[in-house]
Structure formats: structure tokens, C-alpha cells
Amino acid sequence: MHYSTKKWLVIKLSSIILIPLMFWFIVNLASIYDESYAEIVFFFSKSSSKALYSLFLIAAFSFFSLTISEVFEDYINDEKIKNVATKMLYVFAIVMPIITISSILSLN
Amino acid sequence: MFEKNPLSPHLQIYKWHLSMILSITHRIIGIVNSVAMILICLWTISLLFGEENYEIIKILFQSFFGKLLITSLSWSFSFHILSEIRHLIWDLGYGFDLKISKITGVITIIGSMVLTIIIYLFGKNII
């Protein structure tokens, strides 16, 4: 399978996974954002929240990194700059969710 | 050869129409949501610094700016959800007809606003 076909399939798969998780997260965010520190920690301490939030982050960063790499493809003409920018984007999209998921896993 | 690849068409050349507006908005919202995801991660990580340090964020969220921020985020997420569903329907081979495409475009715009209100009311246990 061609690299571009694989990339397109991953974008579509992450999009399908992301849609319900995005809805779940935004409804919960609208419900807790102005609550006390204890309430927010309580929300993220629940096993279901930890699991769904982790999945949401993985799906969101997979989807957004791949779609932003498409923006780089469209607007960056210099191949070297484009490759460096894309690689940096992919590294960031792996590191950021790992740090965030680790932080919520340590909340009790 | 690669240096002569054409970039995306310049926006000022064409007359603006609904599909074009939605396509550009979809891309801009994608970038906005990517930045929002980074802020959401930083907000989650900030919980590790304890209750006293979280007070500043709590005051921000309880202010008018905080409510505006969450409402804007609800809209950008809603728009993304509906626009992605529209793209997935296209990927299945449906909805390319000009009239249907306009209808789904209008549904995406109006639906994102309705969904924002529903999310906010649902989140606040009003409905």
C-alpha cells in the first residue's frame, strides 16, 4: 500500500474514533471547567475518565498531526524545511499526549 | 522539480461560495483545535501543581473571558464534528450533488451553533 493511502486511512480512522470522544470531552468540559480544583481532580481520578481522556488525546493528536502535515504539504515549498517541520510535529504529537496521560494517571 | 510544485490556489482569485467558505473554515478550525488541544493538555498538567496554584486558572475560567473561551471551544469542536461527518459521507461516495452539498453545508453551519447551545446547556445540567 502506498504511503499516502496509509496516511489517508489513518486520518479517516482517527477521525471516526475522535468524533464521539470529542463530543464526550466537550460536554464534560462545559460541566466542570469552572468547578473547584477538588471537583476537577475527582473527575480525572475516575477510571472511566482516565481511559476515555487518554483515548481522546491519542486520537486527537494523531488526527491533528496528520492533518497539519497536510497543511505543511500545501504551503511549505522548501522540501528540507517541510521535512524538518513535519518530523518536529510528529515528535511533539507523541510527547505531548504521553506527558499529559502520565500526569492524569498520577492524579488520585 | 519539487520546487516548481504549485501551492494551493490564491483565495483572492475566485468568487466566494459556500463550499469554499466551509473548506477554508474547516482548515482554520483544524488549526485552532490543534492549538486548543495543547492548551487542554497544559490545563490538565497544571492540576499536578496543587490547589493553590490552580486558583489563577479557576478565576480565569469563572470570568466572562473563561465562559467565552469555553463557548468558543464548544463551537469549534461542534463545527469540527459536523464537518468531519460531512467529509466521511463524501468518502463513502455520497453527497457530491451540488444541491445536497449546499444543504449539508448549511446544516454544518447552523448545526454547529445549535450543538454549541445543546453542549453548554447539557454541561450545565439545564437539559
Q: How many residues does chain A have?
A: 108
Looking at residue A42, what is its pLDDT? 96
pLDDT(B1) > 60? no
Query: For residue A97, which residues of chain B lie inside 8 Å, CB to CB?
Result: 41
Cα separation, B78 vs A22, whole angstroms:
9
In this predicted structure, what is the pLDDT of residue B126?
79
Q: Is A9 on the interface with B (CB under 8 A)?
A: no
Mean of the per-residue pLDDT values of chain B: 91
Which of residues B9 and B22 earns the better pLDDT score? B22
Collect all residues of chain B within an 8 Å Cβ-Cβ radius of residue A15: 84, 87-88
Assess whether pLDDT exceeds 60 at residue B4. Answer: yes
ipTM comes to 0.93
- Provide the percentage of residues in chain B whose pLDDT is more than 90: 79
| Closest to B47 measured CA to CA, from A106, A31, A48, A92 | A106
- Domain of residue A95, residue span: 3-105
Q: Which of B53, B77, B87, B92 to mutate to test the interface with A (most CBs of A within 10 A)?
A: B77
Place of cell 496509509: A6
| B73/A26 CB distance under 8 A | yes
Q: Given a cut of 70, is residue A66 above it in pLDDT?
A: yes
pLDDT at A108: 72
As a whole number, mean pLDDT of residues B70-94 equals 96
Check if the beta carbon of residue B47 is closer than 8 Å to that of residue A37.
yes
Spell B25-63 as b/e; 16+ CB within 10 A means b: bbbebbebbbebbeebbebbebbeeeeeebeebbeebee
Are A100 and B44 a contacting pair at CB < 8 A? yes
Q: Tell me what the pLDDT averaged over chain A comes to.
A: 95
Report the chain A residue with the minimal C-alpha distance to residue B82: A19
The fold adopted by the segment(s) B19-123 is 3 helical TM bundles of succinate and fumarate reductases (1.20.1300)
**Chain B contact for A44 (CB, 8 A cutoff):** yes
The mean-pLDDT minimum among A101-105, B11-15, B82-86 falls in B11-15
**Does position A77 have pLDDT exceeding 70, yes or no?**
yes
Residues of B whose CB is below 8 A from A79: 2-3
For the cut 80, the answer to whether the pLDDT of residue B56 exceeds it is: yes
pLDDT of residue A44: 96
> Is the pLDDT reported for residue B6 higher than 90?
no
CATH number, domain at A91? 1.20.1300.10
User: How many domains would you assign to chain A?
Assistant: 1
Question: Can you tell me the mean pLDDT for B19-44?
Answer: 95
pLDDT recorded at residue B37: 97
Euclidean distance between the first and the last CA atom of chain B, given in angstroms as a whole number: 58
State the pLDDT at residue A52. 98
**Cα angle vertex A15, ends B68, B16, to 5°?**
65
Q: What is the pTM of this model?
A: 0.90
A104 has a chain B CB within 8 A of its CB: yes
Residues 6+ apart with CB under 8 A from B72: none
Contacts of A25 in chain B (CB under 8 A): 77
